[in-house]
Structure 1
Amino acid sequence: MDKSEKDDILEKVMIEHGNELVRLAFSYVKDKETAKDLVQNSFIKCYKNIDSFRYDSQIKTWLSRITINECKDYLRSRNYKMERIKYFIKNTARTVLPSTEKTVLDKYKGKEIKDTIFSLPKVYREVVYLYYYDSLTTEEIADVLDIPVNTVKTRLRRAKQRLKPMLKEAKFNEG
């Protein structure tokens, strides 16, 4: 297949399926710009591999599979996990009451809690963050991290066991 044929096919599929693929990617990553980037990557892969497409299925199905794989790769990536941790850090220190004293105390307490959580090994930090701060279910965490559900449950249990004495020592349980 020559370059102009590939260009024509790519242009056609981008017009016909672009918006639908962005919605598909958004359902995985929950961020519009990231979804657009992932679909762009999918189109690049489509262009590079169009010669190997066997037409056993519709091109839309093939593009959807490429997009889903891009999303899953992204969700497993270090960049994604670091973005989630940054979001966690940024939002943990927010306060509920506007008083200056309360704000200072809450920020200090929030920093100590974050420091305590960040002292955990990475495998425990991830599940604690996703479970308590992102409110994901154990099944969703398993999907995001690409690990079995029972592994998520074990890591949560072990993280709680490690955090409990650390938080008591830091006197977080006092009113």
Structure 2
Amino acid sequence: MERTKEEILEEIMKEHGGELVRLAFHYVKDNETAKDMVQSTFIKCYENIDDFRFDSSIKTWLYRITINQCKDYLKSWYYRKVHVKNLFENVVTSFSPSTEEQVVKDSEHEEMKNLIFSLPQKYREVIFLFYYKSFSLEEIAQLTELNLNTVKTRLSRGKKRLKSLMEEGNVHG
């Protein structure tokens, strides 16, 4: 018995939903917005599942849709307006530490994350997909719709910039 589009989508959502939200969060840095991006991804998936040719894996296709959704959102006027407002609110709010050990650990993790996020988007993207999502260079090229050599160059340059930033700040991680 053949499965319906709804059943296929439900299976895809269960299998890939969590990792797509984490991917979207990497771009938009807001949990609710990340969920919205993934919801849009699944809507596009549902609308286009009949046209999917299996030239790549479903996962690669979903990642590409999610990345494009996030990039479109980050270019939007709404995002720029909300982002400036949130930055202002974050500066105004006070820091209340828990235990000293947790604060140090969080600080080191946050420092590394900030270094990665300080990289230009084109380097941050390939570093995240390669190191945090364990995609191969070929898969990253597919996801980002870039030439394989471009991906290799960006990964290499991104690592050099990250190393330089770490040395400047004496960060070890």
Q: TM-score, normalised by structure 2?
A: 0.52
SS at match of 2:4: helix
Q: Residue 79 and residue 141 in structure 1: after superposition, are their counterparts in 2 closer, same or farther (change >3 A)?
A: farther
Aligned to 2:18: 19
The within-5 A match list for 1:104-123 is none
Q: Residue 57 and residue 7 in structure 1: after superposition, are their counterparts in 2 closer, same or farther (change >3 A)?
A: same
Long gaps (5+) in structure 1: 96-133, 144-175
Write the deviation string for residues 118-161 of structure 1: whole angstroms up to 9, x where unpaired: xxxxxxxxxxxxxxxx9964724998xxxxxxxxxxxxxxxxxx
1:139 is aligned to 2:138? no
Write the deviation string for residues 21-66 of structure 1: whole angstroms up to 9, x where unpaired: 1111111111111111100000000001111110111111101100
Tell which has more relative contact order, 1 or 2 (C-alpha 8 A, sep 6+). Answer: 2
Structure possessing the higher radius of gyration over alpha carbons? 1
The within-5 A match list for 1:1-175 is 5-91=4-90, 137=118, 139-140=120-121
Q: Residue 43 and residue 94 in structure 1: after superposition, are their counterparts in 2 closer, same or farther (change >3 A)?
A: closer
Could you tell me how far apart the structure 2 residues matched to 1:12 and 1:94 are? Answer: 41
Whichever residue aligns with residue 139 of structure 1, its letter is P
Long gaps (5+) in structure 2: 95-113, 125-173
Write the deviation string for residues 75-134 of structure 1: whole angstroms up to 9, x where unpaired: 111111000121244456679xxxxxxxxxxxxxxxxxxxxxxxxxxxxxxxxxxxxxx9
Could you tell me how far apart the structure 1 residues matched to 2:5 and 2:71 are? Answer: 26
Size of the aligned set, in residue pairs, is 105
Aligned to 2:129: none
Q: Residue 140 and residue 60 in structure 1: after superposition, are their counterparts in 2 closer, same or farther (change >3 A)?
A: closer
Q: Residue 8 and residue 93 in structure 1: after superposition, are their counterparts in 2 closer, same or farther (change >3 A)?
A: closer
Q: Residue 142 and residue 50 in structure 1: after superposition, are their counterparts in 2 closer, same or farther (change >3 A)?
A: same
Note the C-alpha offset of 1:8: 1.1
